[in-house]
Structure 1
Amino acid sequence: MSLDTEVLIAGGGPVGLAAGIEARMAGLDVTVVEPRDGPIDKACGEGLMPGALPELARLGIDPDGMPFHGIAYTDGTRRIEHRFDGGPGRGVRRTVLHAALRDRAVAAGVRFHEGRVDAVHQRAGFVEAVGLRAAWLLGADGLHSAVAREVGLALPPPRGRRRFGQRRHYALPPWSEFVEVLWTPAGEFYVTPVADRVVGVALLARRGEHFDEALGVAPGLAERLRGVEAASELRGAGPLRQRTLARVAGRVLLVGDASGYVDALTGEGLRIGFAQARAAVAAIDADRPKDYEAAWERETRDFRRLTGALVRLASSPLRGAVVPAASRLPGVFAGAVERLAR
């Protein structure tokens, strides 16, 4: 039996491309399956936490963007901020990041196959999808992963706390060296510097909240953006909360959002996704796929615990106490930010 490729990757987003580069660095033959051509945009905060930058650097990637030096929470009357201990993060347009990853993947020898993985067949010693046979399949096909469903790992999303993300860019110079998180009754606005004259504004909120309506009553932010030209269309994504039974089924491993996701509230998605890609490739290179399950648990533990607790609080009648509590307990706020930033 001959194989078409050693590693087949479903999804050519940032985590799928990072996994492809990791696999090529390990000497494996790689094919990425992706239906879209060119840089892929999506609704996200676009802030790379400090821990994500070394992960990209080891892949040979240093994308253009704007540094940010910490995280600030505000509710319009109170403000608490923490400056990162270990150096800045970076705001990077998702299209810029995707283009840099794809260029590096092509240079590394990753092949691309136009298509979408919507059926997976596991055989003795190989897995088959989109007419290709591979030793391993990495599902990196996002929040609503067809791969996770096909191999029986996807769980129904929980009924409560169905939150969505929306994002638009505005053409004005960044006014802060922090990613600012504005807590409002409608949801949380994230303001991230991504270029000299561009800021990204993302809203995380429950279903049914309209971006412009929520923005119109956001203290301070509405005034700053009044009359400012939008630099991109409004994009949305969600529901954010996705669960999986496990991350490994035979010769299929799930990485990135496809492996399960809590919420974008702490801004860690890409850092964790890159770490998952590295761990998944190490496991298949060693022919020990079950090692990835333990690695996934280890890499995502802090994210799942801290983000889950914060989302439960944000979705409760106590959400208005988040910023006051953080202001009264600056050491706790700083410790949480540092754990998530590394």
Structure 2
Amino acid sequence: MLKHLHDVVVAGGGPAGLAVALGCAQAGLDVVVCEKRPGVIDKACGEGLMPGAVRALGALGVDPPGHPIQGITYRQGSTVARAAFRTGSGRGVRRTALHSALRCAVERHGVPMLTSPIRTFSQHSDHIRAEGLRARYLVAADGLHSTVRELAGLTKVNTACSTWVPRWGLRRHYALAPFTDTVEVTWASQSEAYVTPVGPNTIGVAILSSVRGGFTQQLSAFPDLSARIADAEPISSVRGAGPFRQHASSRVAGRVLLVGDAAGYVDALTGEGLAVSLVTAAELVRCIRLDRPADYERAWKRTSRRSRWLTEALLWSRRQPSLAQRIVPAAAKNPWLFALAVNQLAR
């Protein structure tokens, strides 16, 4: 007797994978999630949800607790640029709180959560077999260094840019009342520090850098920020992620579809990764419902284009010595332009 045929198997139980699973369940599809890590998963993350991400979660019926975010602030020395969101508030949300809210919603819909990773799979004309499961589609939501993407032959080695420099991220939380209602980004010569209010008495500090080093070492590049949090108690361990840039040759290979970081990633510089993951997850579910997986590649490119282009442009400027020190002064001198860029990402 043939084993039960699911509509979708999702490899990876992070926010992107859970968003796909929840969307599939709400659409009446038979979906199962495979994630080797049980329970709530933490991850290095800036934890600032753009207004678009808050709306995308709301469309799924998910409303995680957090702290309102009204915009983005850039700092470099005494120079400050601030842009307010025009399309509603964002939200600072602990990664664990976000994951818990999504996981609870998925469980309420009766979606099975299996603690077994997808290590192998085989494609057939009308289904996929993976770790004893049969499904019409396999969704790879297993992160930056996706195993399924590699197995599907979709991992693309970046040989086009000889000047590419890997970047990593570190994050820690502090028991400190937020001193801003924005995500505050402080720029140093080779790194950026993000301060995100995630609760009434908690902030998250994330540092993105092209130089490897421990959290304390990285924080030393930001003396003003270091002084502000010097007496605050660290309330989480340091978590890291990277290298960020990952290339995929396509988001679709037959009945395999990529979503979230597994679909390809530029950088965390603009803080829009979760928003893009949620929006593209909705497009993926739509394409599966229509049984038109090939349409997803075009949909992914369309919905992520603005974010990819703006992030690439900012990264390129960051790598130019003559331009890097002018980013924040230019934002402060041209607040309308800074606001335009921020709200292009926020919507």
TM-score under structure 1 length normalisation: 0.97
The residue that corresponds to 1:247 in the other structure is 251
**202-211 or 55-64, which deviates more:** 202-211
Match of 2:344 among 327, 339, 342: 339
The residue that corresponds to 1:136 in the other structure is 137
The residue that corresponds to 2:318 in the other structure is 314
1:286 paired to 2:290: yes
The residue that corresponds to 1:208 in the other structure is 212
- Match of 1:143, SS state, is coil
Q: Is the 8 A contact 1:3 1:135 kept in 2?
A: no
Q: Report how far residue 157 of structure 1 moved.
A: 4.4
- Match of 1:192, SS state, is strand
Q: Is the 8 A contact 2:168 2:212 kept in 1?
A: no
Q: Is the 8 A contact 1:187 1:203 kept in 2?
A: yes
- Match of 1:174, SS state, is coil
Deviation sequence 1:238-271 (CA, Å, 0-9, x none): 0000110000000010000000011011111111
The residue that corresponds to 2:231 in the other structure is 227
Report how many aligned residue pairs link the two structures. Answer: 342
- Match of 2:38, SS state, is coil
**Where does the alignment leave 5 or more consecutive residues of structure 1 unmatched?**
none
The residue that corresponds to 1:189 in the other structure is 193
**321-330 or 186-195, which deviates more:** 321-330
Matches within 5 A, 1:1-342: 2-157=3-158, 160-317=164-321, 318-342=323-347
Q: Report how far residue 279 of structure 1 moved.
A: 0.6
2:104 is matched by which residue type in structure 1? Answer: D
2-structure distance, mates of 1:186, 1:298: 31
1:41 is matched by which residue type in structure 2? Answer: D
1-structure distance, mates of 2:249, 2:43: 26
Sequence identity, in percent? Answer: 49
2-structure distance, mates of 1:185, 1:214: 11
**Where does the alignment leave 5 or more consecutive residues of structure 2 unmatched?**
none
1-structure distance, mates of 2:38, 2:320: 41
Cα RMSD, aligned residues only: 1.2
2-structure distance, mates of 1:315, 1:116: 37
Which 4+ runs in 1 deviate beyond 4 A?
none
Q: Report how far residue 284 of structure 1 moved.
A: 1.1
1-structure distance, mates of 2:73, 2:144: 27
Q: Report how far residue 113 of structure 1 moved.
A: 1.3
Q: Is the 8 A contact 1:280 1:292 kept in 2?
A: yes
- Match of 2:149, SS state, is helix
Q: Is the 8 A contact 1:70 1:89 kept in 2?
A: yes
1:61 is matched by which residue type in structure 2? Answer: V
2-structure distance, mates of 1:34, 1:235: 20
Deviation sequence 1:126-166 (CA, Å, 0-9, x none): 11111211110010000001111111111124662210111
- Match of 1:51, SS state, is helix
